[in-house]
Amino acid sequence: MNLQIIGCSHHQSNVSIREQLAFSEAQIKPFLEKFYLQFPNSEAVLLSTCNRTEFFAAGESNQSLPSQQEMVNFLAGERGISCSEIEDGLYRLNDREAVRHLFGVAASLDSMVVGETQILAQVKRAYELAIESNRPIPLTHRVFQSAIQVARRVANETKLHSNRVSVPSVAVNVLAKQIFERLDNKRILVVGAGDMASETLAYLKGEGGSDIVVVNRTPENAKALADQFNGRTEGWSQLADEVAAADLIISTTGATEPVIDVALFDSIESQRNLKPLFMLDLAVPRDVQPEVGERQNVYLYTLDDLQKVCDRNLKSRKSQFPKAVKILDQETDRFLSEMRGRASDSTIVALRDQANQTKEAELTWLMNRIGDDISDEQRATIEQAFHRLVNKMLHSPLKSVRDDSEQGSNSLLEAVRRLFQLGD
């Protein structure tokens, strides 16, 4: 098996290159169809996410694959850009390093946030789109199915995915759940309409949060965020009333002074009847005066508090990295060994078939010449001698081919195929 990857990712390519090489899902199948028109003997997969674009090509031999430069040219051509614009931002991987890279991507060892789970679903979807192109992709099938299995093994045998490492995820799945047993019956107030608020709401929505109110000085921005999560808006003048009614507050404005200060909280505290209040102050400078967090049943967390938890969890994940890398190396060696075994097995079967066909033809010729002058027992002895001769003559060369393949070499394999004209 021969595998090549041309790609770019957040590790070494800037945003402008990644943007130029990004594909929507709807663009991937037409891309693959054009590729097959130009390179009909190859297999291909295209993976495109916000942080990476990777173009995989596989083939039984180097002759069936485009060169790496041809892959770069094709990729650039489909994006309508010159190769010189992207050349420096691309990496090129072959065979073992390509297999290991794919396994690492699927297991989230190559992600911006190591251990995030979204990438495995993206790898699966890229593989599914390749299948939907209605081309047989047996080699790609093997390597992508193995990548999925490796990702599952890493997930099962390490704690790489066990700790949350993004601020919104920690806020909702770690801290909020320490205070509330459930979130689907809680009133959520969003003050401001920034990206962090949107991302945090996405996690809350995933945990069942549905009673969402957005308050922002710019009504249009408030409505846009509320519409995204089927929430509603209130005017800035209603901020105090909404704080009084809320169970959970996310504040992320661009204000230079606190928007929820002690005076505001004092004015509504009696209305709350000591109901627990979880507050996420995600703004810099802070939106919530620190003294508010000292009030009874108020749980106030700032961006610094959340980042400390994220850093602690990330450190825990990194401690699992060596174990995950060991699994990656083991599985890469196992996969390549199996593929080499498949290649040598097919050659061994082909050579045995060829030898047996020759043996049967010669036996038929000999028996026709002898006719009925020998007994059935003598005939069986001759056939057995021919069979033993073929097996003994093939034993040493076939063992050498198998041993050579297991050691990662294809030199004897290719020599035998050429010598005995076994074809592809």
Residues that are catalytic: 50
Query: In the 8-state DSSP scheme, what is residue 340?
Result: H
What six digits make up the tokens of 415? 């020599």
Residue 79's contacts (CB-CB under 8 Å, 6 or more residues apart) are 20, 21
Residue 374 identity (one-letter amino acid): I
Residue 271's contacts (CB-CB under 8 Å, 6 or more residues apart) are 244
Residue 188's contacts (CB-CB under 8 Å, 6 or more residues apart) are 201, 204, 209, 211, 212, 213, 231, 246, 247, 248, 249, 250
Q: How far apart are CA 386 and CA 415, in angstroms?
A: 26
Residue 324 and residue 154 in contact, taking contact as beta carbons nearer than 8 Å: yes
Residue 108 and residue 116 in contact, taking contact as beta carbons nearer than 8 Å: yes
The residues with which 274 forms a beta bridge, in sequence order, are none
Q: How far apart are CA 17 and CA 9, in angstroms?
A: 9
